[in-house]
A and B are shown apart, each in its own frame.
Chain A
């Protein structure tokens, strides 16, 4: 089956702009999580969506937001971009079968560069 897809793969923006990243989870997966990876901070959890609802959020400013659609596809948005937002943004999907330990499947990421 197809894996997690993320678009675009690469993006260059300037400070002050906003950006929207897209993630399509594996078919049947209802949970989508977003992570930011930078050389200095490593992999950090941004937020998770399940059944169109955000059910967990990391320690990021309100400029970072997201949403999930009824088909489980998810988008994340970063407004008023700062140089420090340059990072690899990773999306992960999970089946979420109640009470079970779920593995997460990661996409290839979107490399965002802010100039």
Chain B
């Protein structure tokens, strides 16, 4: 699975958009970009995933560059409850494993 690079921490004002970047320059053609987040002392929570098109769901939007070497997770109106560690993970759908490889993620702090 391709490795990802994320900033260790970011701050965002409540009500503003939070834009979390992720670099995955060695991504392969069949690898998806997944985002999970982990609120303190809880299990990680799935947010969104995409292959090459931009994706949006009720939680967030995922913007993937045309060359697929980087992506941005957007929380359109961040709230205090969005304070968490956000993990960007790249992996191919595998028939033989559901393994996720977590990096250190980005600790997002939403400030009032």
Residues of A within 8 A of B (CB): 4, 31, 33, 35, 42-45, 48, 50, 55-56, 58, 88, 90, 92, 94, 96, 98-109
Q: Which of B34, B43, B95, B100 contacts A4 (CB 8 A)?
A: B43
Contacts A43-B44, A105-B46, A108-B43; is A55 near B97 (CB within 8 Å)?
A: yes
Chain B residues near A58: list those with CB within 8 A.
99
Chain B residues near A88: list those with CB within 8 A.
41
**B43–A45 contact, CB under 8 A?**
no
**B98–A108 contact, CB under 8 A?**
no
Which residues of chain B (4-25) have a CB below 8 Å from chain A? Answer: none
Q: Tell me the dominant secondary structure on chain A's binding face.
A: strand
Q: Tell me the dominant secondary structure on chain B's binding face.
A: loop
Q: Which of B98, B100, B104 contacts A96 (CB 8 A)?
A: B98
The yes or no answer to B49 lying at the interface (CB within 8 A) is: yes
Chain B residues near A50: list those with CB within 8 A.
98
Chain A residues near B87: list those with CB within 8 A.
43
CB closest residue in chain B, given A90? B43
Subset of 6 A-B contacts with CB under 8 Å: A31-B98, A88-B41, A98-B95, A103-B34, A104-B98, A109-B42
Bound state CA distance, A101 and B51, in angstroms?
A: 10
Chain A residues near B96: list those with CB within 8 A.
55-56
B108 → chain A closest CB, angstroms: 16
**B102–A43 contact, CB under 8 A?**
yes
B2 → chain A closest CB, angstroms: 15
Chain A residues near B97: list those with CB within 8 A.
48, 55-56
CB closest residue in chain A, given B50? A101
Bound state CA distance, A104 and B6, in angstroms?
A: 21
Which residues of chain B (58-105) have a CB below 8 Å from chain A? Answer: 87, 93, 95-104
CB closest residue in chain B, given A31? B98
CB closest residue in chain A, given B51? A101
